[in-house]
Amino acid sequence: MAARRRHHATGRTRARQSGRSSGSCPSTTRLHHILINPIYAGAYAFGRTCSKVTIEAGRKRILRGIKRDRADWEVLLIDHHEGYLSWHDFERNQRLITDNATSKGLVPRGALRRGDPGHRDLLRAGW
């Protein structure tokens, strides 16, 4: 049961999560973020994204979260801690995700429709 907690500024009460899983499945976006984050493979990574400053109409505009290639990351420590999956599996998953992207690049390969059923069940096994 969720506990009730009074907000310090507004005085309104709201339910506070007890930290237990609600039993619902994570969203596709959440699963994607888990699969592309190297921390789940036991690696520490820093500098995966950067910011770019431009001047538009005389005003400074900052674009944040621009993804860098892995070679350009500032720090990547493989086997930094125990991960949920091996680094080999993580890299294989990255290739599968890249190959399945249907709107990236000039000649996308598209999602797997036929063939090895293990690829279709990528998320079912451990997640």
Domain count, the chain: 2
Does residue 89 lie within any of the structural domains? yes
pTM for the predicted model, two decimal places: 0.56
Q: Which residues of 64-90 are buried (b: 16+ CB within 10 A; e: fewer)?
A: eeeeeeeeeeeeeeeeeeebebeeeeb
97-125 residue pLDDT tens: 888 876 655 554 555 455 555 555 555 54
pLDDT band at 84 (very low <50, low <70, confident <90, very high): confident
Are residues 66 and 83 located together in one domain of the fold?
A: no
25-34 residue pLDDT tens: 888 888 888 8
Q: Which domain holds residue 85?
A: 27-43+78-107
Rounded mean pLDDT, 13-21: 53
